[in-house]
Structure 1
């Protein structure tokens, strides 16, 4: 993949700890702010060369289209884009046409790229430990409270026909707990389905802050995913303006990043040889 990188293109992939635990035929890629053709608020920190993939942000449609074409060159096939609605619906990426309303996509087909867009929400990249299926999940606070993470894990296990399949997970960049101020309604919504959600909230100077990573860990724990199989990049979109857009920091014109996961097609070809 390295030969596809171009000057100014900034991307993230999970570290060595993930690679040691995840199946060899699973790949994950997260696009950062730099490396596209958008400008102004959708550009990089200097207002140029932004890789915004969100068509609903006010950016020029032609720029978003070109940015998505750039992203497509980095992965085996065109990502299966979704119209995200902060819900819990999971779709089969292989069947996606257009942009269906959903917040997660599961794939069992090598080369089919599941993708979600994020600015401050948490991307949860899920893989069956045997490399049979993967799922990309968009987890904002509403989706987390309603069970989208659990639905993503269930979708992977259903796809492989194994309710006890071991799952490995990568948690990507999202708004950090130091900046994610919420109302009491968010805490109450979380506690409805996550009994230990209180641990993910802190109060400071009369304000309430939430930790999306901790909430996702509890949701994953409900699905018997162990802490040892959860790998967290720990990066905050709000804290790093150079690399990331942040809806809380940048407002309605915040760009969107692509968080992608897929089964490598070359691995399937090798297995069939």
Structure 2
């Protein structure tokens, strides 16, 4: 990933997606913005202990950075589900409850997800000019929400995996993400052999969310050269990104979004 600065805001971009002039995208950090304390900086969520005015102002800063209208950045109401919604018009934005992934081919509309340790994933179909934004915690990952997002893009836009470019964003790393047997059992049911996704040390089990989502992309036959993993741990870099686990669930939420530029 590459770091970019917009006024007082620090953003990150995937190297592979940044080469595509037809789109713009972002992964936000926590610096800048007007929230304070554990929410300090650019908290984008109304569902944490932050004032509505702070979040509105933070989203205004984000829309300015992305050069889109304030009501043209669309976040779903995330619940760790496996539901993928197709955004066919801005009128659909009010009905995005229980939704953790969005896809669209609308120009000038930035679809985005929020995170604070879960994996944000951005997709771009360079042939059919369609994009996707995915929020994948362990529940979404083992429910194969990323695979279902690609399936939705295939059905709606005629997307072929060979035309997709994917960025797997900052999240809690496999060195830190200790899990219990319920996660491992669910992962085995979803993926079969998960030896590449699990590490055990000192009697503890650690799960690799990055590898589990990359597995879904590879299963769809994406070109490995088109898959970029940020490799940035939110827990270990909690000064740059929000981390729910590091803050004992007091953190704000950063975002990841993608937009097809108007012509």
Q: Is the 8 A contact 2:121 2:168 kept in 1?
A: yes
1:22-50 CA-to-partner distances (Å, cap 9, x unmatched) read: x431221011001100011111xxxxxx1
How much does 1:166 deviate?
2.1
Q: Is the 8 A contact 2:161 2:220 kept in 1?
A: no
How much does 1:197 deviate?
2.2
2:10 matched residue in structure 1:
10
2:43 matched residue in structure 1:
52
1:227 matched residue in structure 2:
224
1:199 matched residue in structure 2:
196
Q: Distance in 2 between matches of 1:152 and 1:246?
A: 25
Q: Is the 8 A contact 2:162 2:222 kept in 1?
A: no
Ranges in structure 2 where 5+ consecutive residues have no aligned partner: none
2:63 matched residue in structure 1:
72
How much does 1:196 deviate?
3.1
How much does 1:60 deviate?
1.5
Q: Is the 8 A contact 1:117 1:138 kept in 2?
A: yes
- Match status 1:92 vs 2:86: yes
Q: Is the 8 A contact 1:37 1:66 kept in 2?
A: yes
- Partner secondary structure for residue 181 of structure 1: coil
How much does 1:220 deviate?
1.2
Q: Is the 8 A contact 2:162 2:221 kept in 1?
A: no
Q: CA RMSD in A?
A: 1.8
How much does 1:101 deviate?
2.2
1:201-241 CA-to-partner distances (Å, cap 9, x unmatched) read: 10110110011110001111222223221011111101112
TM-score by length of 1: 0.88
How much does 1:165 deviate?
5.1
Matches within 5 A, 1:100-115: 100-115=97-112
232-241 or 132-141, which moves further after superposition?
Answer: 232-241
How much does 1:100 deviate?
2.4
- Partner secondary structure for residue 100 of structure 1: coil
1:47 matched residue in structure 2:
none
How much does 1:85 deviate?
0.7
Q: Distance in 2 between matches of 1:114 and 1:196?
A: 33
Q: Distance in 2 between matches of 1:257 and 1:213?
A: 18
2:149 to 152, 174, 186: 152
Ranges in structure 1 where 5+ consecutive residues have no aligned partner: 44-49
